[in-house]
Amino acid sequence: MLKLDKLTKVYKTGDKALSDVTLKIPGGQIIALIGPSGAGKSTLIRCINRLVEPTSGSVTLDGTEITTLGSGALRRMRRRMGMIFQEYALVERLTVMENVLSGRLGYVGFWRSFLRKFPQSDIDEAYRLLDRVGLLHMADKRADELSGGQRQRVGIARALIQDPALLLVDEPTASLDPKTSRQIMRLITELCAERGLAAIVNIHDVSLAQMFVQRVVALNLGHVIFDGGPADLTPEVLTDIYGEEDWEATIAKVEDEEEET
Amino acid sequence: MPTSTNASGEKIWKLRTRNETLFRWALWLATIIAFYVSWMKISDQTTWFFVYDAPRIAADIGGRAWPPRWSYIDQLGGAIWDTINMATLGTIFALFMAVPVAFLAARNTTPSKTFIRPVALLVIVSTRSINSLIWALLLVSIIGPGVLAGIVAIAIRSIGFCAKLLYEAIEEIDSTQVEAITATGASRWQTMAYGIVPQIMPAFAGIAVFRWDINFRESTVLGLVGAGGIGLQLQGSLNTLAWPQVSLILIVILVAVIIGEWVSARVRGAII
């Protein structure tokens, strides 16, 4: 169970990226976080694992308050939160296997990780995950040799090998073509269901969100302005979130696509 | 305003306004005048007789220097080996010192922008600003003549160069890769080893080879001030006006530099 209570972030420039965001996400639930660019979506998920320090408010994961942790305890807490990035954020010059194993860095000491002497159980798990995401044959390739969709699969494996309770997913499909986007979203939602993970998925593509998640939260200017099921996203609601536009096409398209699949 | 309208109402576009054009002409004129004045000054201070005489003297020395004294090569093997070692060891020591300095100087890795970074930048500037020949002069008087003085001179001179290029490479890394490693719960040192080091490895290798290449050339002259290597032989031969030996030494240096260039190009190609 992840709880955000009055989470607020004010940047040094005075921009208020989040104001009093209060959310509850039970274990196993996936939410899609939508909203226009600059609404604070990325800031919100970075405030949860404190890549960005929140200004005030609290974040609680399974009863542990994260915002007040010292650096050692924060590192142990970050192991419980896997993160997946828009541009994959793989270390390009390391191999696929090294990238996946880097998800275990929080569990092994410096010299073991430096010499790449990971425990056998970690290596077994890495192979299992690579097999699960369909990249077993790519294990020894360098990350920069992979295509966008393949890289994102490695990014997913890296997040999952942490054995997290929560996935923080930042625009996982923004750099991918429509078909790969769906495959990636399907993979993420399947894996979350298999492992009972909660997830926050930042996403631009409203129809894609409607296709794959049961709960949608919308941010605008740092405020939560919508929290409901995918079917509740009517043209009026989308106008509230993004501004005036003809939304019928977006929503109609979703329904067509759902019939196809 | 480059765009204006003429009498018949057509829009005229020019790259520059009239004032800008005039300013440019003035600048060219000033440059030509400065060149002319400087040339006159140099001409006044030159003894033109020596200059007219130069081709004859050059031909004379060339005639004495040719053919090179090939038998002298026996004594050059050790000297060129010393020179290579000076360059290589100097570069290695410099890299050992440059890496921490670079991490302290880079904006995204320095522990303190206000205190430690300026100190690191000072180290970079001060070691870079003094030529290795001058370092060698100083070090020969401090630790005595020989190869060690040359190695230390090369090392000190190279710290700033390597650290500067390396810290620029560190500042240009992709920060999201670092962010991703941090997000896994990695410690500071692990983040450095996994997030930063792989990203700067190509730059590091390139810098190391490039600096070795430069150091190899520099170390050929360090002997002139007593810091060992082939420069020592060169100085001895110049002092005794043994022109056939001088020409042989120059040939040996030329060949060695070409080989060094080839090696560094191959190494760089293999890494990147």
pTM of the predicted model, to two decimals?
0.78
Interchain pair B185, A114: CB under 8 A? no
Mean pLDDT of chain A: 87
The contact set of A with B (CB < 8 A) is: 49, 51, 75-79, 81-83, 85, 87, 89-94, 98, 102-107, 110, 113-114, 155, 158, 162, 168
Select the residue from A105, A144, A163, A166 to test the B interface by mutation, using most B Cβ atoms within 10 A: A105
Task: Name the residue with higher pLDDT: A161 or B225.
Answer: A161
Q: Is residue B60, in this structure, part of any structural domain at all?
A: no
The answer on B103 and B9 residing in a single domain is: no
Shortest distance between the Cα of A253 and any Cα of chain B, in A, equals 34
Q: Scanning every residue of chain B, which has its alpha carbon at the shortest distance from the alpha carbon of A87?
A: B176
Q: Is residue B11, in this structure, part of any structural domain at all?
A: yes
Q: Which residues of chain A are modeled with pLDDT < 50?
A: 252, 254, 256-261
> Which of A181-185, A253-257, B68-72, B229-233 has the weakest average pLDDT?
A253-257
The answer on B95 and B33 residing in a single domain is: no
The contact set of B with A (CB < 8 A) is: 174, 176-177, 179-187, 189-190, 193-195, 198-199, 201-202
pLDDT, residue A230, reads: 84
Instruction: Calculate the alpha carbon distances from A30 to A185, A252, B242 in Å.
Output: 11, 23, 86
A97-126 confidence digits (pLDDT tens): 999 999 999 899 899 989 889 999 999 999
Mean per-residue pLDDT, B80-97: 90
Q: Scanning every residue of chain B, which has its alpha carbon at the shortest distance from the alpha carbon of A46?
A: B183
Interchain pair B180, A76: CB under 8 A? no
Distance between CA atoms of B181 and B179, rounded to whole angstroms?
Answer: 5
B24-33 confidence digits (pLDDT tens): 999 999 999 9
pLDDT, residue B218, reads: 85
Q: Which residues of A touch B201 (CB under 8 A)?
A: 93
Q: Is residue B46, in this structure, part of any structural domain at all?
A: no
Mean per-residue pLDDT, B155-164: 91
B172-215 confidence digits (pLDDT tens): 999 999 999 999 999 989 999 999 999 998 889 888 888 888 88
Select the residue from A69, A93, A97, A122 to test the B interface by mutation, using most B Cβ atoms within 10 A: A93
Nearest to B182 among A51, A92, A110 (CB): A51
pLDDT, residue A130, reads: 92
The answer on B193 and B133 residing in a single domain is: yes
Closest Cα to residue A204, out of A39, A30, A29?
Answer: A39
Q: Is residue B174, in this structure, part of any structural domain at all?
A: yes
The answer on B255 and B122 residing in a single domain is: yes
Q: How far is CA A211 from the centre of its chain?
A: 17
The answer on B127 and B10 residing in a single domain is: no
Q: Is B105 helix (H, G, I), strand (E, B) or coil?
A: helix
Question: Which residue is associated with the tokens 């004859």?
Answer: B56
The answer on B84 and B17 residing in a single domain is: no
pLDDT, residue B173, reads: 92
The answer on B216 and B152 residing in a single domain is: yes
Q: What are the residues facing A10 on neighbouring strands? A: A16
Q: Which residues of A touch B189 (CB under 8 A)?
A: 110
Q: Which residues of A touch B176 (CB under 8 A)?
A: 85, 87, 89
Counting Cβ atoms within 10 Å, is residue B53 exposed (0-12), middle (13-18) or buried (19+)? exposed
Closest Cα to residue A217, out of A65, A4, A57?
Answer: A4
Q: Is B65 helix (H, G, I), strand (E, B) or coil?
A: helix
pLDDT, residue B2, reads: 66
Q: Is residue B33, in this structure, part of any structural domain at all?
A: yes
Nearest to B183 among A51, A93, A94 (CB): A51
Joined tokens for residue A171: 């625009």
> Which of A144-158, B131-145, B147-161 has the weakest average pLDDT?
B131-145
Shortest distance between the Cα of A29 and any Cα of chain B, in A, equals 21
Q: What is the ipTM of this complex?
A: 0.87
Q: What are the residues facing A178 on neighbouring strands? A: none
The answer on B163 and B84 residing in a single domain is: yes
Q: Is the peptide bond before B67 cis (omega within 30 degrees of 0)?
A: yes
Q: Scanning every residue of chain A, which has its alpha carbon at the shortest distance from the alpha carbon of B201?
A: A93
Q: Is the pLDDT of residue B271 over 80?
A: no
Joined tokens for residue A148: 């966008």
The answer on B17 and B96 residing in a single domain is: no
B95-117 confidence digits (pLDDT tens): 999 999 999 999 888 888 888 99
The answer on B25 and B156 residing in a single domain is: no
Interchain pair B193, A158: CB under 8 A? no
The answer on B226 and B121 residing in a single domain is: yes
The answer on B79 and B29 residing in a single domain is: no
pLDDT, residue B268, reads: 76
Shortest distance between the Cα of A53 and any Cα of chain B, in A, equals 13
pLDDT, residue A259, reads: 44
Domain extent at residue B13: 1-37
pLDDT, residue A253, reads: 52
Distance between CA atoms of A114 and B198, rounded to whole angstroms?
Answer: 12
Question: Which residue is associated with the tokens 């401090």?
Answer: B142
Q: What are the residues facing A170 on neighbouring strands? A: A202
Q: Scanning every residue of chain B, which has its alpha carbon at the shortest distance from the alpha carbon of A52?
A: B179
Q: Is residue B134, in this structure, part of any structural domain at all?
A: yes
**What is the CATH number for B89?**
1.10.3720.10
pLDDT, residue B260, reads: 83
Q: Is residue B65, in this structure, part of any structural domain at all?
A: no
Total count of domains within chain B: 2
